[in-house]
Amino acid sequence: MSEQQKILIIGGVAAGPKAAARARRRNPQAEITILERGGLTSYAGCGMPFFISGMIHDYKELYLTSYGVARDANYFGREKGVKLYTRTEATAIDRQNKVVKAKNLETGEEMEFPYDKLVLATGASPFVPPIEGVDLKGVHLLNHPDDSLKIRELVDTGNIEQAVVIGAGLIGMEGADALFNKMVEVTIVEMQDQVLPNMLDADMAQRLQRHMYDEGVDLFLGDKVLRIEGDEEGNVKGVVTEKNGFVECQLVIMASGVRPNVQLAADAGLEIGEARAIAVNEYMQTSDPDIYACGDCVENVHLISGKKVYTPMATYANRQGRVVGDNVTGGESTFKGVLGTGVAEVFEMNVGRTGLGEQQAKNLGYNVITAVSSGLDRTHYHARHGLVQFKIIADADSKRILGAQGIGKGDVVKRIDVVATAITFGATLEDLSNLDLGYAPPFSSPIDPVAHAVNVVRNKVDGLAETIKSQQLLEKLEDGEDLLLLDVRTAEQFAPKHFKDDRIMQVALGDLREKLEEIPRDKEIVTICPMGIRAYEAVRTLRGAGFENVKLLEGGLNMWPFDLEIKKK
Amino acid sequence: MSEQQKILIIGGVAAGPKAAARARRRNPQAEITILERGGLTSYAGCGMPFFISGMIHDYKELYLTSYGVARDANYFGREKGVKLYTRTEATAIDRQNKVVKAKNLETGEEMEFPYDKLVLATGASPFVPPIEGVDLKGVHLLNHPDDSLKIRELVDTGNIEQAVVIGAGLIGMEGADALFNKMVEVTIVEMQDQVLPNMLDADMAQRLQRHMYDEGVDLFLGDKVLRIEGDEEGNVKGVVTEKNGFVECQLVIMASGVRPNVQLAADAGLEIGEARAIAVNEYMQTSDPDIYACGDCVENVHLISGKKVYTPMATYANRQGRVVGDNVTGGESTFKGVLGTGVAEVFEMNVGRTGLGEQQAKNLGYNVITAVSSGLDRTHYHARHGLVQFKIIADADSKRILGAQGIGKGDVVKRIDVVATAITFGATLEDLSNLDLGYAPPFSSPIDPVAHAVNVVRNKVDGLAETIKSQQLLEKLEDGEDLLLLDVRTAEQFAPKHFKDDRIMQVALGDLREKLEEIPRDKEIVTICPMGIRAYEAVRTLRGAGFENVKLLEGGLNMWPFDLEIKKK
């Protein structure tokens, strides 16, 4: 490789600068240049909600290194030996002559940048729904630090009492959470009938929605914004939704997802993949071997399904940037694919997912088995303990884990990372429950909540535990089915909070063996306790005593997201 | 299998009750009996330090279920359908007739218990060092809840100003931490020359020791207690150590490790393994196929080395108990082995390890390569961020990860769990750095600290980064070698805290390219910054400019556990 080779990178936010820095460390002589359309580079897009909420005091924090240096052209030049052109848009790629045409957006000046290796890190752009009123004052995206600056300035005026967030994906939820923390009344409008539709299965989402309702967040699910209305001065005054009508607000955040920026690549004749993003191989090479692409503009391979997916995530951008930095300097690094792992802290709940969701797995033809379990994230006697709920999605035939989801005040993310690691290697249910994970009272239980969740699946597979999910039980109860809800807590624990329904019976687990005669043998029985642990014991006791139609409420009362007073249809 | 089969379990603390509960859930008809020598069963031994420190208010918490029921004979009988005999010691196993002889320790009554399947969960006993004074008032073990009760009562009198803890293993460290939290001055005496000798490599332990010194804990390492001295009333008044002489104290905790209780098994002719604990196969079967053993009395297979090890841990006891519960009721579950994963929170630092340590790996003949890296456990702009240091131990030939250790105020344990999971499946360096772990600002960085640590190893393997460890650098500096310490922070960052040595030079990373002429080319150069990140950039810049003898201080100043003022020999 020539020592003076020219590496040209289009895009200066995450993947691009990472590729540049890595390439520089591997090749001190190469001429490395970054072109960035915007004015800011290498900023912490994920930090925006934390700037709005005030956890980040100073706007500059969004583009400073951890040691306090702004990542601008001066920094790239002096610390990295990389030339950075900001406000410079690449307009065309001449692959024949290996030249990129660009324009300075301030001066209009046209420029040409020759390259030996070209890196496309053109990112993604927010999708703006085609509705009336998106240009009103007070209507913002949440895609660029400038957006967060405008939103924070607005909120800091003290004049924003209500806000509407359009879209309950990750960005919408984090934005809504930030506003909520600033004491703004928040309404979230989402076209799909659940929050975080790309992240959580419906049952897990319902758990989060229950919590959000309880906290006072308005959720309009399965609804859509028809138009945004303004006052005479052009300030937003409210939105009109299809189902819920007019909602007053002084601020609207549009968070309807992003689309990969592929035009430049497509115009140059590079292959665009089935997920509508730039197609790359595992070396992050496009259909032109001298052109690489990475970050939010490329599509990825899902490691479980093998399908192409579009999963724009900061962590992929960084890791792909490193791979590209290797490969444009003669390396042979690979990025094998993604599990779609995602985590977030929203409304003081930790949520996460990895791998396939339940419906996704069914659509792919797996013989899906799942279980949801409730538990504590560490020993109950440790002050910091919190509740966590995990859902394991597995293939009943191969016993392989396909995915996991978690939610709770406790440490969900650690367990999502463990499952993500395990399924990378094709772990089975048994593998996952046998992991030698760290245990001490401040961190876990002797049997980790994830191992516990896996054991619930195994018990179901082995026929030891038959379960019923909240949604199914609700339907049966509403349909007026004559079943028995057997709450196995003590009378004292039962008294303050339980199903308000005449089909309920309370028998403490410790009394169950001697009260078997009182329990009807002709009814379907659903055993109930807060976590599902005593309910499982009760199932085993009843089955052992010859009761045949006995199930436990999966995940316990803690996974019941509905009212406890049942309205029969 | 006969429905009335008799399952007899000796030991009622962790593994035994777990086996009983699992067996009961699988077989409702079996007669299940537990014999326990002590008065308490199924207690949370790991909770004792938290009871001493006061986090656990009520002694009863140590043996209550998470829903507040005491795990006594009544509980086992009513909730589990299991017969429990406390204060009942098994004295002999008649394997021929399948009968266990036992004695009631209160009444002296002799009993016989026939069995079809026998489970030995006889646990371990604390080792009491053979020194004078161990019977004095105020000298305690920390092995049974009763010990912690006595210690807490003593501390709560307000008369304990100084305490000596003998042994810096996990129990000693957690006990010392609990006393420290109660404002007791603590001295820890450890025969080996580091804390947590079975857990941490020396370099990681030094980091913890530095922190403990800074917090005001006295550490006598490589020292031993010769005798404990008492006053006329038989109360402890101090200990005499070999190196440090007399240390005044009103309380001594002996935490010199435990030994497996194997006498009963050995007397019955069962095989005792090379690790001096009961030998079992992966079904947890002893050399007699009708006798199983689990918990602190058995030896385990180390999953990396394949060697037999003695690793008494609560989590193994619980998981093995479950396996035994399966197998005594006709199942075929296995416990494949251990990684020796261990975690703890001591003196407000999180520490952990999994797999092999550096020396252990070398002794086993691996071509060991390691790296230590410093980093933040989440984004620097998130309020909860904390420093973490990870050490990765790998095999340079196969590139397989052999082990990892971590320490820091930040979230170490999550990463230890991830590595534990990865090495279970034989992960390589590349595998580990490519994991799709969850990223969001409250939880991690786009490149997780563990991936970062692994990348440091890879950079070393690839010859991109040559490093020097703190200990080696200290030796060179003390030997008066004429090297250059190149601190690449800014002058403002450098000013308050840096090496006090005439071999130091400060050049900010951003100025390095234009100041290359000022840097001597004939000296060995060690680049320095807090985390090692800028120091790595500096190495690459200098190497690119033709400097040949350049290394970075591995893990940065944050891994420097010594004084910054160097005393030349």
- What are B424-457's pLDDT values in tens digits? 999 999 999 999 999 999 999 988 999 999 999 9
Expressed in percent and rounded to 5, the helix, strand and coil fractions of chain B are: 30, 25, 45
Which residues in chain B touch residue A334, judged by CB atoms under 8 angstroms apart?
434
Q: What's the angle, vertex CA A418, arms to CA A207 and CA A465, rounded to 5? A: 55
Q: What is the pLDDT of residues A483-525, one digit of tens each?
A: 999 999 999 999 999 999 999 999 999 999 999 999 999 999 9
Is the CB of A352 inside 8 Å of chain B's CB atoms?
yes
Tokens 């928040």 correspond to: A186
Q: Do A382 and B50 touch (CB under 8 A)?
A: yes
Instruction: Find the closest chain B residue to A540 by CA distance.
Output: B25
| Amino acid, res. A65 | T
Instruction: Find the closest chain B residue to A532 by CA distance.
Output: B67
> Looking at chain B from residue 437 to 476, which residues have their Cβ under 8 Å from any Cβ of chain A?
437-444, 446-447, 451, 455, 464
Q: What is the pLDDT of residues B26-39, one digit of tens each?
A: 999 999 999 999 99
- The C-alpha atoms of residue A69 and residue A337 are separated, in whole angstroms, by 33
pLDDT, average across residues A23-35: 96
pLDDT, average across residues B501-518: 96
B145 has a pLDDT exceeding 70 = yes
Q: Do A345 and B437 touch (CB under 8 A)?
A: no
- The C-alpha atoms of residue A328 and residue A316 are separated, in whole angstroms, by 18
> Looking at chain B from residue 376 to 395, which residues have their Cβ under 8 Å from any Cβ of chain A?
376, 379-383
Q: Do B438 and A418 touch (CB under 8 A)?
A: no
pLDDT at residue number A3: 52
pLDDT band for position A446 (cuts 50, 70, 90):
confident
B261 has a pLDDT exceeding 60 = yes
- The C-alpha atoms of residue A305 and residue A395 are separated, in whole angstroms, by 12
Contact between residue A412 and residue A448 where contact means Cβ atoms under 8 Å apart: no
Q: What's the angle, vertex CA A321, arms to CA A318 and CA A325, rounded to 5? A: 140
B67 has a pLDDT exceeding 90 = no
Paired tokens of B528: 């320095």
Catalytic residue numbers of A, as ranges: 46
A2 has a pLDDT exceeding 80 = no
Q: What is the pLDDT of residues B202-244, one digit of tens each?
A: 999 999 999 999 999 999 999 999 999 999 999 999 999 999 9
Q: Do B381 and A55 touch (CB under 8 A)?
A: yes
Which residues in chain A touch residue B509, judged by CB atoms under 8 angstroms apart?
78-79
CA distances from A13 to A123, A331, B378 (A): 8, 23, 19
Q: Do B340 and A14 touch (CB under 8 A)?
A: no
Pick the closest to residue A554 from A529, A525, A519, A522 (CA basis). Answer: A529
pLDDT band for position B3 (cuts 50, 70, 90):
low
Is-above-0.90 flag for pTM?
yes
pLDDT at residue number A234: 97
Q: What's the half-sphere exposure (Cβ side, CA atoms, 13 Å) at A362? A: 5
Which residues in chain B touch residue A540, judged by CB atoms under 8 angstroms apart?
24-25, 28
Strand B88-94 to B99-104 pairing: antiparallel
pLDDT at residue number A65: 85
- The C-alpha atoms of residue B63 and residue B72 are separated, in whole angstroms, by 8
Instruction: Find the closest chain B residue to A303 by CA distance.
Output: B436
Pick the closest to residue B511 from B530, B538, B492 (CA basis). Answer: B538
Q: What is the pLDDT of residues A525-534, one digit of tens each?
A: 999 999 999 9
Q: For residue B437, give the nearest of A61, A420, A435 by CB distance.
A: A420
Is the CB of A436 inside 8 Å of chain B's CB atoms?
yes
Contact between residue A339 and residue B436 where contact means Cβ atoms under 8 Å apart: yes
Which residues in chain B touch residue A437, judged by CB atoms under 8 angstroms apart?
315, 341, 417, 420-421
- The C-alpha atoms of residue B458 and residue A283 are separated, in whole angstroms, by 18
pLDDT at residue number A32: 98
A40 has a pLDDT exceeding 80 = yes
Is the CB of B61 inside 8 Å of chain A's CB atoms?
yes
Dihedrals phi, psi of A212, to nearest 5 degrees: -65, -40
pLDDT at residue number B194: 98
Chosen for mutation from B29, B304, B381 (greatest number of chain A CBs closer than 10 Å) is B381
- The C-alpha atoms of residue B198 and residue B207 are separated, in whole angstroms, by 16
Q: Is the ipTM of this structure higher than 0.90?
A: yes
> Looking at chain A from residue 67 to 96, which residues have their Cβ under 8 Å from any Cβ of chain B?
67, 69, 74-75, 78-81
Q: Do A381 and B50 touch (CB under 8 A)?
A: yes
Is the CB of B343 inside 8 Å of chain A's CB atoms?
yes
Instruction: Find the closest chain B residue to A338 by CA distance.
Output: B436
Contact between residue B347 and residue B211 where contact means Cβ atoms under 8 Å apart: yes
**What percent of chain A stands above pLDDT 70?**
99
Is the CB of B420 inside 8 Å of chain A's CB atoms?
yes
Q: What is the pLDDT of residues A376-416, one digit of tens each?
A: 999 999 999 999 999 999 999 999 999 999 999 999 999 99
pLDDT at residue number B498: 96
Is the CB of B417 inside 8 Å of chain A's CB atoms?
yes
Is the CB of B513 inside 8 Å of chain A's CB atoms?
yes
Shortest distance between the Cα of A55 and any Cα of chain B, in A, equals: 7
Chosen for mutation from B439, B493, B507 (greatest number of chain A CBs closer than 10 Å) is B439
Shortest distance between the Cα of A426 and any Cα of chain B, in A, equals: 9
Q: Do A75 and B510 touch (CB under 8 A)?
A: yes
Q: What is the pLDDT of residues A248-283, one digit of tens each?
A: 999 999 999 999 999 999 999 999 999 999 999 999
Contacts of A80 (CB under 8 A, 6+ apart): A20, A21, A24, A32, B537
Q: For residue A439, give the nearest of B78, B315, B382 by CB distance.
A: B315
Q: Do A438 and B420 touch (CB under 8 A)?
A: yes
Instruction: Find the closest chain B residue to A431 by CA distance.
Output: B424
Query: Could you say which DSSP state residue A400 is in?
Result: B
pLDDT at residue number B1: 43
Which residues in chain B touch residue A55, judged by CB atoms under 8 angstroms apart?
381-383
Catalytic residue numbers of B, as ranges: 46
Determine the 3-state secondary structure of A207 from DSSP.
helix
Rg from Cα positions in chain B: 27
**What percent of chain B stands above pLDDT 90?**
96
Q: For residue B79, give the nearest of A61, A537, A543 by CB distance.
A: A537
Instruction: Find the closest chain B residue to A539 by CA distance.
Output: B25
- The C-alpha atoms of residue A530 and residue B503 are separated, in whole angstroms, by 65
Biggest CA-to-CA distance, chain B? 90
Dihedrals phi, psi of A250, to nearest 5 degrees: -110, 0
